[in-house]
Amino acid sequence: LVGMMIFLSGCDIKKYPMDHEQLSAEERIVIRFSHIVGENTPKGLAARKFASLVKERTNGFVEVQVFPNGYLYRDGEELEALVQGDIQMVAPAMSKLSTIVPEWEVIDLPFAFQNSKEVREYLEGEKGKSLLHLLEKSGYHPLGVWDNGFKQMTNSIRPLVNPDDFIGLKFRIMPSSVIQNQFQQLGATTHSNSFNEVYKLLEKKQMNAQENTFSNIVSKHLYSLQDYLTVSNHGYLGYVVLMNQDFWNQLPEDIQSIIQETMDEVTKWEIERAEQLNDEGLREVETCNCIDIHYLTEEEKQRWEDALRPVYKNFADRFGADYIKSLPKNK
């Protein structure tokens, strides 16, 4: 077999014969894909599907090993591990990208988007493209954008109907100053903790509130520890699937094409799963008889939006008004 030599970051020199089936285990390209959520979530299922399709389409030459639940790298560690080349793929929530490129917090602005299609369109527009470009400049190669859906509020103190109801609550949040500011405006305090600790924090009553999507609330049984849930759909939670850029650049072109085409296909599938799992999650909490559910009305939503207006001003003061002007609701 005639092979060409390629160098892979974190790996030894590999031979890359044209016939992948002839390769021994040591000669494969191994992509370690680490994520922090459960397997029965949009991200968890899509990561597994991506791995199996890539394996099939490269005749086993590329092996994507998926590590869920933060088993390999915990929340807050995975972006650094990717840049170090210890892992090759991650799919962090956009709010967490703000630890590298703070402008990503525009996606966290409350009630900025009505559905995930609007988020996709924003990311395809000029400001969105610049957000992705800023990631590339920091050593990350974006492969796709995956959905989770919209966040809901849960807590163990009182129903959240009006802005004043948030006063004094202690929210676990993702690391994003827009999210922090959102709760500050409502009179609640926040702590940014690892996703993998949320259950314990609520159980030990170190926090009494949190916001997340139905699939995360249900797959981690967070609703079993909370008494009140408000279906607010106030903020979007999606992911950017990232590869280590040096690793990506050193992949043979035909492998890059297979990976990208597979990612595009899995992304379409993932978007449908996100919708399905969040619908199922809502039904599960509706039928558990274990949590009081409030559906935010249009008038109440307007009151929340009014109370949260300063969050937009703070963001504009930090990053300029252009990111906000390009939001679908301002067009």
Which of 146, 150, 183, 195 lies at the binding interface for ligand LMR (CB under 6 A)?
195
Site map for ligand LMR, 83-102, x if CB under 6 A? ----------x---------
Site for ligand LMR in 115-154 (CB under 6 A): 148
Which of 8, 23, 29, 36 lies at the binding interface for ligand LMR (CB under 6 A)?
36
The distance of closest approach from Cβ of residue 175 to ligand LMR in the complex, given in angstroms and rounded to an integer, is 9
29/90 with CB nearer ligand LMR? 90
Q: What is the DSSP letter of 186?
A: T
Site for ligand LMR in 159-178 (CB under 6 A): 174
What is the spatial distance between Cα 28 and Cα 32, in angstroms, rounded to a whole number?
A: 12
Q: 20-37 burial by CB neighbour count: b if 16+ within 10 A, else e?
A: beebeeeebbebbbbbbb
Residue whose C-alpha is closest to residue 130's, from 104, 111, 95, 99: 104
The distance of closest approach from Cβ of residue 327 to ligand LMR in the complex, given in angstroms and rounded to an integer, is 22
Q: List C-alpha distances in Å: 224 to 86, 219, 220, 263.
A: 36, 11, 9, 34
75/165 with CB nearer ligand LMR? 75
Site map for ligand LMR, 215-254, x if CB under 6 A? -x--------------------------------------
Both tokens of residue 155?
């807590």
Is 179 an interacting residue with respect to ligand LMR (CB under 6 A)? no
Q: List C-alpha distances in Å: 229 to 112, 164, 192, 212, 251.
A: 21, 16, 20, 11, 46
Q: What is the DSSP letter of 100?
A: T
Residues that bind ligand LMR (CB under 6 A): 36-37, 75, 93, 148, 174, 195, 212, 216
